């Protein structure tokens, strides 16, 4: 998952979704493996493992507002949670915004 601030993204996903990740300040990240990346910092949850990739420049991360620019594609990530309203409150309390709201009732 591309980002520009490892500490902020780790704090956000730990608070909102309970993902486990070491503190970026005390755990060295892996060096960026691709051009335009500075570091890779791993995370995990019960059913998911992945990495936050710190981009060298902010323009390396496409925002939803860039979706009209075909040269940049933003990441559209979906998460299944036990309680949508409680999770959305955590998102907002942690400084996040919901760009696409889809509620699927099973």
Residue 102 in any domain: the answer is no
Domain annotation covers residue 103: no
Residue 104 within a domain: no
pTM over 0.75: no
Give me the number of domains the chain comprises.
1
**Is the residue at 83 inside a domain?**
yes
Q: What is the pLDDT of residues 4-27, one digit of tens each?
A: 888 999 999 999 999 998 888 776
Q: Which domain holds residue 15?
A: 2-93
Tell me the C-alpha to C-alpha distance, in Å, between residue 55 and each of 2, 11, 39, 106: 6, 17, 7, 37
């Amino acid at each position: 998952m591309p980002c520009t601030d490892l500490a902020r993204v780790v704090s956000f996903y730990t608070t909102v979704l309970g993902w486990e990740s070491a503190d970026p300040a005390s755990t060295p990240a892996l060096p960026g493996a691709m051009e335009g990346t500075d570091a890779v910092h791993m995370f995990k949850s019960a059913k998911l493992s992945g990495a936050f990739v710190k981009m060298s420049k902010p323009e390396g991360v496409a925002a939803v507002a860039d979706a009209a620019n075909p040269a940049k594609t933003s990441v559209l990530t979906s998460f299944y949670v036990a309680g949508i309203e409680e999770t959305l409150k955590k998102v907002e309390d942690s400084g996040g915004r919901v760009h696409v709201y889809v509620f699927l009732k099973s």
